[in-house]
Amino acid sequence: MASWKACEPLVLKMQDEGDWAGIARLSLVANCDPDVLDAAIECVEGEVGSYYVVEALLNFRCSGGAFFPAEDPAGMWDAAEVATFGLLRAYGRAILCNREDSQRVAIDVLRTGTRVAMEAADLAAEIGDEGVGALFCLCAGLGSIGLDDFRQAVVCFEAADRLSSAPYSRHPAIYGGIKGDSFGNLTWAYHELDLLDKSDEASLRCIEVYQRLWEIAPNEHWRKLALAMRQRMASQMHCCPATEAMTLGDQLMALLNSRPKSDADSRELRGAVQHLRSALLRRAGNAVAAEKAARESLYWYSELERTDSRFAGDVADSNEVLASALLHQGRLEEAAAASSQAVKTHLRLYSQRGPRYARKAIAGYLRGARCCHECGFYEDAWAQFETAKQWAASFAAEDAVRFGLLVVAAAFGSTRSSHQRRSGSGEIDEFDRYELLRGYDEVVGMQRQLQGMGLLVDRSITAHALTAMAEIFVESGDGENAVRSLESAKAWWQSLRDGGEVDYVAGMADCLRVEAALRVLQDVPLAGVDCLAEAVGLFDGFSGVDEMALVAPRIDALFAFADAVIRESESVAPEVLHDAIGHARQARELGERWLASLSDPMLKRRIAAAVNRPSHLLFHYLTTRREGLSEAFSIAESCRSRYLRAMLSDETIEVPASNEELSRRFRAARREMRCATIALAALDRDRHDLESDRASLEERNRLCVERYLAAQQAEHDAIAAIRKIDPAFDPRPSGAQASLDQLRGSLAGHDCVAIQYTISDNCAGALVVSESDCDWVDLPEASAANVERLLSVWSDLIDAPEPRSAEEHSIQKEAIDAFLAEFSQRVLAPIAETLPPGVRSLVVAPHQGLHLLPFAACPLGDGVVAAERWDLRTVPSLSALRPTALSGELTSGKVVIVDASGGGPIWCRSVELAAVSTSLPEASVVVVRASDQLKETLIAECRDATAIHFCCHGNYHPENQLASQLRLGNEHQSARWLRLRDVYQSLKLERSPIVTLSACQTGVLSPDDHDEFVSFPSAFLYAGASAVIATLWNADDLSSCLLMTKFYELLAESRTPSHSLAKAQQWLRGDGVGELASADSLRAYIDSRGLLEAEPDEKVRRRIERLINAACRRADWGPPFASPKYWAVHIVAG
């Protein structure tokens, strides 16, 4: 402007005196470059020269000087313009103080400056200077935002809009900045108050103003136009279809791309736009693109934060949208880490800058709680939601507008997690229903209250709450209330159709599922089938159907439809039944495809649980009709021992041999990831135990997550390094699940039959596979509940104390015999009747609690038990079946004997180890004894062994499976213990050895719905063992020593481990004949073998004598080791 030239000497004078506030005022009035204004406010240095500047400006105006070429009235200087110096100096001081973290001083100065601005605005209004009045209202609104008083800010900005209307219509180029800033700041303030409709309207007006100014002077107004477009994107996110907001985002990116990327304003806006694009893409169902946009936003803001700490909050916001994108992909652990980082930053900023950041911190805390919920940690999620609810409520008491929605979100999350937790623990009783209904009703009531205040609420929360209430009403048989809740819920879901595609599809499908259950309650099940078909159609019609957030809901919808049709199979058309079976297959295939591509361990467990439902349904359908048994076999295999099969598949990955170090790094990282996955799964099970120590669980969870993420990063680094050598390197396993035909081929010529058990609540039976045939045998008395009861009874029987009289012995024997008869009748005898003659070997793949029961002791009639008729071995999965090493390899190879007991004496240890060595005269025997480097020595020696024998104490930890140990030292030497984690991670057996774990509980595992075979046998099989001899409960010293002695004698005679163990067990039983049938024959056998002489310690020999005497006393009532407690404790796995 021409008049600006007259101000140049004055500006130079103010620069010399450091009066940046004066320059800021002059910049505002003269409409100069906005960068000068920003620099002036940020560089304020107190009140130096202020009196001189005021006087100079007064003289300038009084002498007829004009700031605007067409100023009306011209040459007038009023008190309002003078008063603005107080505001600008105060605002500048507040910014300066805030950057020095002096919050109290900054707020006091802002409060004073805002009051002065309002007084100046009133004065300007009185004298009719609307343009100046609008300027002061704008400044006062900014001051109110600095004080986090957004309601007062709205009053100020609305006044600025009103006062600037007439001047803007006359001189748009002069007053357009004030007008546009008024709308822009109104957009922000409305959004902070959740008045989203008004925010959207204000943002549209703001764009119109700056579009007009940009057309006049593009270089001066591009930034304000970009800011206006960004604010409109933010407002559109909640009240328009995502496509409209994305179109605006594309236009904004085109504008930004016309500016250099080195421009600070351009970088800031790029970060902001990508932040919004991430949220929009996630809502539209493209979580992968949303993650990419979030990471780009994080990049730009992180670059800006390096030189300006004001962008710390923006970095935290970018981490939040990144967490949301990761959460929707199911990468729960990474999402939790990003969200945690954001919460920490927001908490720090809250302590420095006030409640605005408290709101963001609470929102981030809620996201972390949601991660816990999605992981299935419902108890933890409930506790976090409750904490967030109390925290938000403490702020909402003073500011319900800004914190009310957070209270609602926390209350809903708390109730939902409580609902899931109670559902998972069993039937929900009347009190539970009342508490849950009250919780959901409270959420709906709070939502209505916020709506009454004119706020736009999160509609999905109301829809979810009403759907959950309807489900509870259906479960309690209250059809009338269920209908009302469902009608309301469907209306709310329908209102989300254009604004939240993913939420709408998943939510409406859930609503239809509940409606289907209602139709069954109303005795119109076919109408329920129609509801479920409609739910399936929702997913089929959604373009983002492969969005991770919809995988589990879609599987559930497909399963529910198939299940309902099969239940009504007699009433539906054949083509409908055919479609239902196709839907079950589709659900299973979808889940298996995602399981193969997912990396997050907790999400994989969640998806696996969802896949198991349609898998069991399809399996039951196929087996009851005796059709498609090959497919049934594959289904049953896919639902068990996923961890072990994945680990074995890892070994098929071909790593370039040119760099052994990179290969070692990759395999070590992959093994560590698998171990962390197992640990997290065990933790998941512990969390359902309400008696568990919460602090201990949370600490273990933190360590597990940290270990998993560290291993994942190590694997990524190793893959990147390998691809520099071999760009085509593929880290995916090449191994595939074994088919039924492949299994039959492995059984050829071995007189062997494989039995694959499947136990569920509504289906129990076994696939019996031979070289030439495959059949399904129903086991109606072997339901999951019956197996669980059998396991409980057996645990009590083996834990019973030794009998002290013939009567006690008789009572115990009758109880054990009765149990074994029932067990056999329910589980094994029906299968034995179908087996062809000549079968000598059984390979058994147990399921759930059957893993822990003694198949070898099952009576088959005429006094014959299973161990006498067949050689038995168990496998976690028939896909993991391996050929067993023959004894020829054993007797001429390297045998490692581990002689390092801890945790108490093993009285027959020396006798047992001497007998093992004597039985293998041609083998190269290496004895590993106790030392500080025992574990390292053992791992090295076992690498090329053909047989490994442990004689030590064992301990299984069901609550922390990987901490289970073979105790190779006492309590003070726990560093020597070989833990289950060590075997999975570090042990590599290159010659497929036979491993004998002569210790207590070495074959124990924790049966669960996923039937994961996490135990020492699976760990040694993964390490490379061909067979593992393990124990199902605490082993007796003397009987175990005798059994091992006989086992190795038989093994040295070119027998397989399963045949050697079966014969050794028959020998140990005695049955009235043989070397151990009576007290005299027992003593004669021990003396003839010189077993006592193998123990050099006289004190230990006396203790062994006592064990022999106790066995001889039992001989008065029958063979001393005839009870399965003694002879059936050992199994062959592999």
pLDDT > 90 fraction of the chain, expressed in percent and rounded: 4
Tell me how far apart the alpha carbons of residues 865 and 855 are, in angstroms, rounded to a whole number: 9
Given a cut of 80, is residue 915 above it in pLDDT?
no
User: What element of type H or E holds 757?
Assistant: strand 752-759
> Rounded to 5 degrees, what are φ and ψ at 162?
-65, -45
Given a cut of 90, is residue 1030 above it in pLDDT?
yes
Q: Do 563 and 548 fall within a single domain?
A: yes
- Determine contact, residues 787/849, Cβ cutoff 8 Å: yes
- 229: in domain: no
Tell me how far apart the alpha carbons of residues 460 and 493 are, in angstroms, rounded to a whole number: 7
> At residue 627, what is the residue type?
E
What counts of helices (H) and strands (E) characterise the chain? Answer: 46, 14
Tell me how far apart the alpha carbons of residues 1123 and 812 are, in angstroms, rounded to a whole number: 9
pLDDT digits (tens, 9 = 90+) for 239-295: 555 567 777 777 777 777 777 766 666 777 788 888 888 877 776 667 778 888 888
Instruction: Return the pLDDT at 77.
Output: 41
Tell me how far apart the alpha carbons of residues 1051 and 1058 are, in angstroms, rounded to a whole number: 9
What dihedral do alpha carbons 205, 210, 216, 220 form, nearest 10°? 170
Tell me how far apart the alpha carbons of residues 983 and 965 are, in angstroms, rounded to a whole number: 10
Given a cut of 50, is residue 87 above it in pLDDT?
no
Instruction: Return the pLDDT at 683.
Output: 55
Tell me how far apart the alpha carbons of residues 1131 and 1124 are, in angstroms, rounded to a whole number: 12
- Pick the closest to residue 447 from 493, 397, 399, 412 (CA basis): 412
Lowest mean pLDDT among 18-22, 222-226, 646-650, 673-677: 18-22
Phi-psi map region of 927: left, alpha, beta (phi>0 left; psi -120 to 50 alpha):
beta
Given a cut of 90, is residue 1029 above it in pLDDT?
yes
Q: Do 1107 and 958 fall within a single domain?
A: yes
- 511: in domain: no
DSSP-based three-state secondary structure for 1125: helix
Question: Can you give the residue range of the structural domain that contains 959?
Answer: 887-1133
Higher pLDDT, 175 or 601: 175
Q: pLDDT averaged over the chain?
A: 76
Tell me how far apart the alpha carbons of residues 54 and 82 are, in angstroms, rounded to a whole number: 7
Share in percent of the chain as helix, strand, coil (round to 5): 70, 5, 25
User: What element of type H or E holds 923?
Assistant: none
CA distances from 807 to 172, 330, 812, 1071, 1116 (A): 108, 61, 9, 20, 12
How many CB atoms are located within 10 Å of the residue 654 CB?
Answer: 10
Q: Do 928 and 781 fall within a single domain?
A: no
Q: Do 922 and 976 fall within a single domain?
A: yes
Tell me how far apart the alpha carbons of residues 57 and 41 are, in angstroms, rounded to a whole number: 19
pLDDT digits (tens, 9 = 90+) for 396-425: 777 776 778 888 888 888 888 888 877 765
Q: Do 825 and 925 fall within a single domain?
A: no
- Pick the closest to residue 1010 from 591, 721, 551 (CA basis): 591
Tell me how far apart the alpha carbons of residues 780 and 786 are, in angstroms, rounded to a whole number: 10
What is the gyration radius of the CA atoms in the chain, in angstroms?
Answer: 38
pLDDT band at 957 (very low <50, low <70, confident <90, very high): confident
Give the DSSP per-residue string, 925-954.
Answer: EEEEE--TTHHHHHHHHHTT-SEEEEESEE
| Helix ranges (DSSP H) in 496-524 | 501-521
How many CB atoms are located within 10 Å of the residue 570 CB?
Answer: 6
Instruction: Return the pLDDT at 887.
Output: 46
pLDDT band at 5 (very low <50, low <70, confident <90, very high): very low
- Pick the closest to residue 465 from 427, 494, 436 (CA basis): 436
> At residue 984, what is the residue type?
Y
CA 1132 to chain centre: 35
CA distances from 893 to 899, 938, 992 (A): 19, 17, 11
Instruction: Read off the pLDDT of each residue in 1011-1023 and give the average, rounded to a whole number.
Output: 80
How many CB atoms are located within 10 Å of the residue 1107 CB?
Answer: 16
- 646: in domain: no
Last residue of a domain, one of 855, 880, 905: 880
- 820: in domain: yes
User: What element of type H or E holds 774?
Assistant: strand 774-778
pLDDT > 70 fraction of the chain, expressed in percent and rounded: 75
b/e string for 820-846 if b means 16 or more Cβ within 10 A? beebbebbbbbbbeebeeebebbbbbb
pLDDT digits (tens, 9 = 90+) for 740-774: 777 777 776 668 888 988 887 767 888 888 887 88
Tell me how far apart the alpha carbons of residues 338 and 357 are, in angstroms, rounded to a whole number: 17
Q: Do 697 and 750 fall within a single domain?
A: no
Q: Which two tokens stand for residue 29?
A: 């009035």
Q: Do 621 and 692 fall within a single domain?
A: no
DSSP-based three-state secondary structure for 1027: strand
- Determine contact, residues 650/974, Cβ cutoff 8 Å: no
Instruction: Return the pLDDT at 1032.
Output: 92
Instruction: Return the pLDDT at 62.
Output: 44
Q: Do 802 and 843 fall within a single domain?
A: yes
pLDDT band at 696 (very low <50, low <70, confident <90, very high): low
- 340: in domain: no
Q: Do 845 and 987 fall within a single domain?
A: no
Phi-psi map region of 653: left, alpha, beta (phi>0 left; psi -120 to 50 alpha):
beta
Omega before residue 780 within 30° of 0, cis: no
Instruction: Return the pLDDT at 491.
Output: 87
For the entire predicted model, the pTM comes to: 0.67
Last residue of a domain, one of 725, 751, 785: 725
- What is the total count of domains within the chain? 4
- 507: in domain: no
pLDDT band at 94 (very low <50, low <70, confident <90, very high): very low
Tell me how far apart the alpha carbons of residues 575 and 147 are, in angstroms, rounded to a whole number: 67
How many CB atoms are located within 10 Å of the residue 76 CB?
Answer: 15
Q: Which two tokens stand for residue 941?
A: 């020696």
Tell me how far apart the alpha carbons of residues 187 and 539 are, in angstroms, rounded to a whole number: 36
Instruction: Return the pLDDT at 681.
Output: 62
Q: Which residue has the tokens 């081929």?
A: 745
Q: Which residues partner with 897 through β-bridges?
A: 927, 949
pLDDT band at 93 (very low <50, low <70, confident <90, very high): very low
Instruction: Return the pLDDT at 822.
Output: 92
Tell me how far apart the alpha carbons of residues 914 and 84 are, in angstroms, rounded to a whole number: 99
Lowest mean pLDDT among 855-864, 893-902, 1046-1055, 1118-1127: 893-902
- 443: in domain: no
Instruction: Return the pLDDT at 46.
Output: 37
Handedness of CA 855, 860, 862, 867 (dihedral sign): negative
Q: Do 858 and 959 fall within a single domain?
A: no
- Determine contact, residues 727/816, Cβ cutoff 8 Å: no
Tell me how far apart the alpha carbons of residues 189 and 638 are, in angstroms, rounded to a whole number: 54
Residue 17 makes CB contacts below 8 A (sequence gap 6+) with: 48, 49, 52, 53
Tell me how far apart the alpha carbons of residues 1029 and 947 are, in angstroms, rounded to a whole number: 11
Handedness of CA 389, 390, 392, 396 (dihedral sign): positive
Q: Do 1040 and 1122 fall within a single domain?
A: yes
- 132: in domain: no
Q: Which residue has the tokens 């006049």?
A: 216
Q: Do 610 and 692 fall within a single domain?
A: no
> Rounded to 5 degrees, what are φ and ψ at 332?
-65, -40
Instruction: Return the pLDDT at 688.
Output: 41
Given a cut of 50, is residue 846 above it in pLDDT?
yes
pLDDT digits (tens, 9 = 90+) for 420-479: 877 765 566 777 888 888 888 888 888 888 777 766 677 888 888 899 899 888 888 888
Q: Which two tokens stand for residue 650?
A: 């890892």
> At residue 261, what is the residue type?
K
Q: Which residues partner with 171 through β-bridges?
A: none
CA 7 to chain centre: 64
- Determine contact, residues 234/184, Cβ cutoff 8 Å: no
Tell me how far apart the alpha carbons of residues 1003 and 874 are, in angstroms, rounded to a whole number: 11
Pairing relationship of beta strands 841-845 and 894-899 according to DSSP bridges: unpaired
Last residue of a domain, one of 852, 880, 908: 880
DSSP-based three-state secondary structure for 872: strand
Residue 729 makes CB contacts below 8 A (sequence gap 6+) with: 655, 656, 719, 722, 723
- Determine contact, residues 332/602, Cβ cutoff 8 Å: yes
Given a cut of 80, is residue 569 above it in pLDDT?
no
Instruction: Return the pLDDT at 905.
Output: 64
